[in-house]
Structures are given as C-alpha cells and as structure tokens.
Amino acid sequence: MTQDLLAGRALEVDEVFADLVHRAERAGVLVPRLRLVRDLLRGIDPGRHRG
C-alpha cells in the first residue's frame, strides 16, 4: 500500500477493509480504530481523487 501511495496509484482501501468492517458489524463487534484507519486512508487515496 505504501508503494502504491508513493507511486500515485489507487490504494484499494475498500478492497482491503470493507469485508473486515462488514464482518465485525455483523458480529456486533465494535471496530472504531479499524474504521478510522479505513477512513483516513480513503482521504489520502490518490485513486479516489481522480476524475
């Protein structure tokens, strides 16, 4: 992921984190730090800011 970021490529944040967050929510497990990391990475993901 770091290499992708440095090269300006998409980080595939949702592909990495979406299933983990979804499974935790389904199981009733709170994962605020995981959600925070996901949201922060979305914010710096070059792939999300391309037109």
pLDDT digits (tens, 9 = 90+) for 1-51: 889 888 988 889 999 899 999 999 999 999 999 999 999 999 998 887 665
> What does pTM read for this prediction?
0.75
Q: What is the pLDDT of residue 6?
A: 87
Show me where the domains of the chain are located.
2-49
- Exposed / middle / buried, residue 13 (Cβ in 10 Å: 0-12, 13-18, 19+): buried
Q: What is the pLDDT of residue 4?
A: 85
Q: What is the pLDDT of residue 51?
A: 55
Q: What is the pLDDT of residue 36?
A: 95
C-alpha torsion sign, points 16, 19, 24, 28: positive
